[in-house]
Amino acid sequence: MGNSFGTLFRISTWGESHGGGIGVVIDGCPPRLLLSEEDIQSELDRRRPGQSEITTPRKESDKATIVSGVYEGLTLGTPIAIYVPNGDHRPEAYKEMKDKFRPSHADFTYQTKFGIRNHEGGGRSSARETIGRVAAGAIAQKILKQANNIEVRAFIRRIHTIEAPEIKEFPSLEAVEASPVRCPHPETAEAMVNFIKKMRSKGDSVGGVIECRVKNLPVGLGVPVFDRLEADLAKAMLSLPATKGFEVGSGFAGTELIGSEHNDVFIEKDGHVGTATNRSGGVQGGISNGEELVFRVAFKPTATILQNQATVDSDGQETELMGRGRHDPCVLPRAVPIVESMAALVLVDHWMRHKAQCESFNF
């Protein structure tokens, strides 16, 4: 019912903010993969709150425990369950939100759909849910790396109107992590950090665009017609809270070119077929073509702002709500590892599906 994702490498996440904890069950993980809690923790630490002066100051350590599916450091091929307890609860910050709906948050729709909601910390609509995705994504990234040295790298391309120039080389993890805003272009990163700080000091928020690139993908991942690679990536990305747009390769800007400018001509590249340019973003006909996969995801400004706003209460009466609590003035820096995780989950699933259908038999 909407809490599971993937076909052969399948995850189910559970838990709410301000509940007992958060977790994920991963079914279909290949057996005999070396896996430790440290593999998962390093990615969770990139996602957790309180990691820099431009994220929420909430102090959650987000320590992961592997509860099942691993024996003597190796995956068993059985379901892997990972559990992260919640901490640093401050339910009093959400008291007023019990009966008043935050503009552009999930309060009104959850309440109206389910007739009940855990309003503390946003409940299931909180981005705490993504802990399960990042824990599973850490495993998916490890599998991709071992399978074909595949690397998934996301970074912030734009905050509000501050945009980094096109990043030509595949950015290193060190370059992305060098700034708290996770933009590998140092001058732009500095301007972004200053802008986020300025918005935070006004009790306001800001959005932007994350770019994600994947290298060393083989030709063949993606299952036309409904499970085209870019269709599954779009679903994965738009399943993240606060996302508003997805584009692959040349995206919306590509519509301003004519065909002769836009086509990626085929060339011979180091003994195999490649393309001279990559406006396709590494996908043609819904199938990876061996070039770098390139896509971008738009995130809106954080809904909860520390300002007084017009709203309605649960009786439909017009009122005002003063935003309180410790919110991210910009969700993008913490969303970078989440985007990477969702991409890795889609790619491992498609890797397994491709091998099962196209490489199991020698007809």
Ligand X SMILES: Cc1cc2nc3c(=O)[nH]c(=O)nc-3n(C[C@H](O)[C@H](O)[C@H](O)COP(=O)(O)O)c2cc1C
Whichever of 211 and 328 has its CB closer to ligand X, that residue is 328
Q: What are the angstrom distances between the C-alpha of 80 and each of 35, 132, 250?
A: 11, 11, 38
- Least Cβ distance, residue 107 to ligand X (angstroms): 9
SS (H, E, C) 258-296: CHHHHCCCEEEECCEEEECCCCCCCEECCEEECCCEEEE
Beta carbons of 221 and 346 less than 8 angstroms apart: no
From the number of C-beta atoms within 10 Å of its C-beta (0-12, 13-18, 19+), residue 123 rates as buried
Identify which of residues 122 and 290 has a Cβ nearer to ligand X in the complex: 122
User: Nearest distance from residue 362's CB to ligand X, in Å?
Assistant: 45
How far is Cα 25 from Cα 10, in angstroms, rounded to an integer?
8
Instruction: Kindly list the residues in this chain that would bind ligand X in the complex (CB under 6 A).
Output: 56, 105-106, 122, 125-127, 240-242, 302-304, 327-328, 331, 334-335, 338
Task: Count how many residues are written for the chain.
Answer: 363
Output the smallest distance, CB 242 to ligand X, in A.
4
Nearer residue to ligand X within complex by CB, 82 or 240: 240
Q: Could you tell me which of 220, 185, 191, 228 has the C-alpha nearest to residue 206?
A: 191
Nearer to ligand X, 56 or 75 (CB): 56
Torsion angles phi and psi, residue 104, rounded to 5: 65, 10
Q: Based on CB atoms, which residue is closest to ligand X, 116 or 225?
A: 116
Least distance CB 115 / ligand X (angstroms) = 18
CB of 185 or CB of 200, closer to ligand X: 200
Q: How far is the CB of 20 from ligand X (least distance, A)?
A: 20
Nearest approach, Cβ of 241 to ligand X (angstroms)? 3
Which is it for the CA torsion 318, 324, 325, 328, positive or negative? positive
